[in-house]
Every structure is written in structure tokens, then in C-alpha cells.
């Protein structure tokens, strides 16, 4: 609140001990006080020149317009350095921010099928008590874009069809595949301390959602070797890696 008009009014009044003091009766009601105030304001304007009076009225009108504009103006928009409105991030259903968000690349691709690949296996070798191989896959040119998002499953069986070891399965990092894509997996088998399984061993690979069982036959008529016993108290272990992009020469077919 601005007290300057009140202080000015008090300074202009004569006190009861000053010469020329005239007592003024206080108004008895609010209506009487309003009438006295209107009379004093009229007298104040009358003492001013026409131009000054109109200037005062105009100043009061401008102040009222500015006050109303300030009250009715809506909230301001955040503007970045480039002068464009800055978007306000909103929460997405997964808890992230939706500002500038785009759908994940490759979302909605169907699962790849083994029939869409040509493959080639390396000869089995041995190192540090294990036996293993690498298998390279190439997507055929007619394949439709697809994705592999699970680890391949392996089943190792003896000549009678009895299961010797199994491995793989489960969710894995998503790999998108298109025509000509080359992928690679690694297979290892270690610590066999039981009786020798009936040869020849057979190894098959399957993918989630695909009933096809792909026989991974070693090249050149090689048989799958049985690893040595490295620890009688330890179980045998068959393992397979996830599909990885490969720079190796692609198999034909």
C-alpha cells in the first residue's frame, strides 16, 4: 500500500495549536465519508488546469488498463534460445519421458525361422579340456526382415537317440536380421567323466517358436569328440553363445 498521499495530507493540515486551525467534524457514516471524499477530489481537479486534469485522468485510466491486462494474461510459454516453445516432457507408460521419444527401431518384427538361413560349421577342436566349434549363418536373399531375441537351444544325443547334454534357451539380446545378414555362434563341451557315449553323436539346434531341429553335422565326416574328464566331482557342461554379427565369409546355399 502506498502511504505517500496520507503523509502529504497530514503535512498540509494545520494542527490544533497552529494559527488558522479549523476543526472539521468527522463523518458520521460511510456514505457521508464518501461524499466528503468526492467533494475534496472535485476541488483538487478544479484547482488544476484543463490539460493537467485530463492528463491525470488519462494516467489513471492507463494504470487501470495495465492492471486488468496483467490479471487476465495467461501463463507464459517457455521459450528456448531459438525462440521456439520448449516442449514440456510428459511421463510415458513405462516411466520415461515422451518428449522427442520415438518407437524402438525394429519393434514388431516377426521371429526368424531356421529355414531362412544357410549355415556352415567349423571342424571341432579342443583347448583347455574342452571341445568346441563355431557355426556361421547367412540369411538368404529372399528373407523378410525378422529378429532373433532368444538364445538357441542345443540337444546332444548319442547314436541310440539318448540325450547326453542340452544347453541354451531363454531370452537374449535382440538381433535384427535382413537379406544377406551373417551371424555366428560358439559351442563348447567340457568335462565328461561318464562312460563313453555311443558314437556317432548328433547335435541339433532349435530356435524359440520354430519346431525345426537343425542337425549341426561337423564337416568332412568328422565325429563330435568327447571332452576329457577334468573334475570327477564337477558336472559336464555344454554351452552356446547368443547370435552375434559376424565378419566371416558367409556360407553358400
Q: What is the 3-state secondary structure (H, E, C) of 135-154?
A: EEEEECCCCCCEEEEECCEE
Report the top-level CATH class of 115-245.
mainly beta
Closest CA to 207 of 183, 224, 229: 183
For 210-233, the pLDDT digits (tens) are: 999 999 999 999 999 999 999 999
Residues in the chain: 253
Check pLDDT > 90 for residue 2: no
pLDDT over 80 at 59, yes or no: no
Which pLDDT score is estimated for 180?
A: 96
Ramachandran angles phi, psi of 9, nearest 5°: -65, -40
If you average pLDDT over every residue of the chain, what do you get?
Answer: 74
* Residue 40 DSSP class: H
Domain residue spans of the chain: 115-245
Residue 63: exposure state from Cβ atoms within 10 A (0-12, 13-18, ≥19): exposed
Amino acid at each position: 500500500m502506498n502511504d505517500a498521499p496520507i503523509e502529504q495530507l497530514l503535512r498540509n493540515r494545520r494542527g490544533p495549536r497552529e494559527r488558522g486551525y479549523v476543526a472539521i467534524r468527522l463523518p458520521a457514516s460511510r456514505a457521508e465519508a464518501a461524499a466528503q471524499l468526492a467533494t475534496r477530489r472535485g476541488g483538487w481537479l478544479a484547482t488544476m488546469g484543463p490539460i493537467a486534469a485530463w492528463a491525470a485522468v488519462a494516467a489513471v485510466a492507463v494504470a487501470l488498463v495495465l492492471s486488468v491486462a496483467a490479471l487476465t494474461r495467461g501463463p507464459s510459454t517457455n521459450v528456448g534460445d531459438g525462440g521456439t516453445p520448449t516442449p514440456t516432457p510428459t511421463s510415458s507408460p513405462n516411466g520415461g519421458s515422451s518428449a522427442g521419444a520415438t518407437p524402438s527401431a525394429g519393434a514388431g518384427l516377426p521371429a526368424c525361422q531356421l529355414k531362412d538361413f544357410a549355415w556352415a560349421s567349423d571342424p571341432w577342436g579342443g583347448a583347455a579340456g574342452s571341445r568346441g566349434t563355431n557355426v556361421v549363418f547367412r540369411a538368404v536373399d529372399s528373407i523378410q526382415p525378422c529378429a532373433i531375441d532368444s538364445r538357441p537351444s542345443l540337444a546332444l544325443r548319442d547314436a541310440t537317440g539318448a540325450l547326453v547334454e542340452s544347453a541354451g534357451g531363454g531370452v537374449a539380446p535382440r538381433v535384427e536380421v535382413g537379406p544377406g545378414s551373417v551371424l555366428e555362434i560358439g559351442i563348447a563341451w567340457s568335462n565328461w567323466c561318464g562312460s563313453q557315449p555311443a558314437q556317432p553323436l548328433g547335435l541339433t539346434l532349435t530356435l524359440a517358436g520354430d519346431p525345426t531341429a537343425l542337425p549341426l553335422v561337423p564337416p568332412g565326416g568328422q565325429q563330435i569328440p568327447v571332452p576329457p574328464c577334468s573334475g570327477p566331482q564337477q558336472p559336464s557342461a555344454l554351452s552356446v553363445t547368443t547370435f552375434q554379427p559376424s565378419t566371416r565369409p558367409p556360407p553358400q546355399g
